[in-house]
């Protein structure tokens, strides 16, 4: 008689989290590809993707956003910038006549 051994914390036992992680990674890949950025800012892209996910509604918690569930108010996404857009950084470390 053979017994089937099971290993806990494998993708088969953690299906919802694995699906969520795969979805986030696919969206990160699409964001990096669409913006023509190299692969090294993937962690920042993942943070941005999770932020977006928390600001948008989900059917699982009753057609509301995780933000609204936590803070009891709608999220303000008016200042949200597109991923990969060009920005200017003010460098205060330069001297007066430096570039």
Q: Are 52 and 4 in contact (CB under 8 A)?
A: no
Q: Which of 53, 61, 66 is nearest to 21 (CA)?
A: 53
What angle, 0 to 180 degrees and rounded to 10, lies between the N-to-C axes of helices 15-34 and 42-55? 120
Q: What was the pLDDT predicted at 25? A: 92
What are the pLDDT digits (tens) for 23-74? 899 999 998 988 888 889 899 999 989 988 888 887 778 878 888 888 988 8
| Domain boundaries, given as residue ranges, for the chain | 1-99
Q: How far apart are the first and last CA of the chain?
A: 77
Predicted confidence at residue 46, as pLDDT, reads 93
């Amino acid at each position: 008689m053979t017994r089937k051994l099971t290993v806990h914390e494998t993708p088969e036992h953690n299906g919802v989290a694995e699906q969520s992680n795969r979805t986030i990674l696919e969206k990160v890949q699409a964001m990096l590809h669409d913006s023509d950025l190299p692969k090294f800012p993937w962690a920042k892209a993942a943070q941005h993707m999770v932020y977006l996910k928390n600001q948008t509604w989900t059917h699982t918690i009753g057609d509301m956003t995780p933000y609204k569930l936590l803070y009891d108010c709608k999220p303000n996404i008016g200042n949200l910038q597109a991923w990969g857009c060009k920005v200017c950084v003010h460098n205060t470390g330069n001297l007066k006549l430096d570039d």
